[in-house]
Amino acid sequence: MEIREISFYKQFRCTGGDCRHTCCRGWMIPLTKEDTDRFGHEKGRLKFSLLTAVSQKDIVCFNKGSGKCPFHNKEGLCSLQLMKGHDFIPEACRMFPRFYRNYVKFEEHYIDPACMAAAELLLKNASDLKLVSYEGTPLSDPCTCNEDDDLLDKMTDTRSVILNRLSGITLPDDLNRAFNDIYTYSSRLQQAFLKGDTGFLSDCPFDGFHAGEDLRIFPFDTSVLASLMNTSFYHNRLKRTNPFLYRLCRLYFDRYRSIMNSSSSWDCAVRDFINDHKEAVHYCTAYYTYYLYLYFLKSFEDYSFLKNAALGMIHTNMIFMFSLLLSLDEPGSYPQSLPSVISMYDRRACFNDEIMNEMYGCLDRL
């Protein structure tokens, strides 16, 4: 099978106990039937520890409370892996942050930026994001039952054209125009498919497409950001499960409330931040580019063209806002702090359908 792999995929190395934001904290760890069967064959104290760690109320998992996994030791390492080896730990732990999408014709391999080391690699390679293709054995089962190969080819080609549209953007107005083009195009594509016009990708290609509207999609206005921050994205429980993200949220609600409640103050803060950090828009563009690599073809499975494109714009704006606020609070911390912002934000916003649906609904304000 053809394997399409992000160019920095093989550069990834887990930093283990040196990681500042371990993946063993802040979210549930789902368990497969193979995981629970394997654990069930253990005996003695280990079996008791495994049984008491497993929750089965809503989903079979470790870490139901989303604090720290009970097997995460004081050195920042997995005690299960140290005791029983890598093959013994849950499948989710063995795979993360590797991200596979098998479309039968080809499989794509990425590293999820919810991992600190992966986010650092993304930023390190921000100027050269590309796929490397080779023949290999797939590492995952097919992610779709859609057999429309022609549609898949057209969507893959469209993604390439959109990514080319994003290439080289370093100014906020240019990114806003690109977001307008992608947002409007995705909206028209969504409407066409709802009407049964499956030929829209051929009839109206993205190449050369320009939106007639001029929505403010980057950076968002304070009213849109307020709407996003008042979803269930923020919760007091973050103080325990994701202390870094909790601190970022409190910067928004408390310390810089005067800036975030005033459009003029926010616009001034944006101008100053971009003047001081001219690479900021470049990193935002790289983040959204990588998001499209990961999720644009998801519409081949669920036909949610607008939602899948727009969520990436939301995530880009939220990461930009948090980076700006953290830079105000810790002058000189940007861009070194950006991998932490990306990884901690992604863990909260990109793996929770309820939060993503709420956030998507906030775009009505546009």
pLDDT digits (tens, 9 = 90+) for 251-272: 999 999 999 999 999 999 999 9
pLDDT digits (tens, 9 = 90+) for 83-103: 989 999 998 889 999 999 999
Residue 335 burial class via C-beta count within 10 angstroms: exposed 0-12, middle 13-18, buried 19 and up: middle
pLDDT band at 30 (very low <50, low <70, confident <90, very high): confident
Taking residue 3's Cβ as centre, other Cβ atoms within 10 Å add up to 20
pLDDT digits (tens, 9 = 90+) for 318-327: 999 999 999 9
pLDDT at 242: 92
Kindly state the average pLDDT of the residues 278-301: 97
pLDDT digits (tens, 9 = 90+) for 135-167: 999 999 999 888 889 999 999 999 999 999 999
Kindly state the average pLDDT of the residues 328-352: 96
Count of alpha carbons within 13 angstroms of residue 326, beta-carbon side: 22
Q: How far is residue 163's CA from residue 49's CA, in Å, rounded to a whole number?
A: 48
**How much of the chain, in percent, has pLDDT values that exceed 70?**
98
Range 302-311, long-range pairs (CB < 8 A, 24+ positions): 303/193, 304/190, 305/186, 305/189, 305/190, 305/193, 306/183, 306/186, 306/187, 306/189, 306/190, 307/360, 308/186, 309/182, 309/183, 309/186, 310/183, 310/186, 310/360, 310/363, 311/356, 311/359, 311/360
**How much of the chain, in percent, has pLDDT values that exceed 90?**
69
| Residue 69, pLDDT above cutoff 70 | yes
With tokens 């080609």, the residue in question is 157
pLDDT at 57: 64
| Residue 115, pLDDT above cutoff 90 | yes
| Residue 366, pLDDT above cutoff 80 | no
What are the boundaries of each domain within the chain?
5-9+97-146, 24-95, 151-365
pLDDT at 211: 87
Tokens of 183: 């947002």
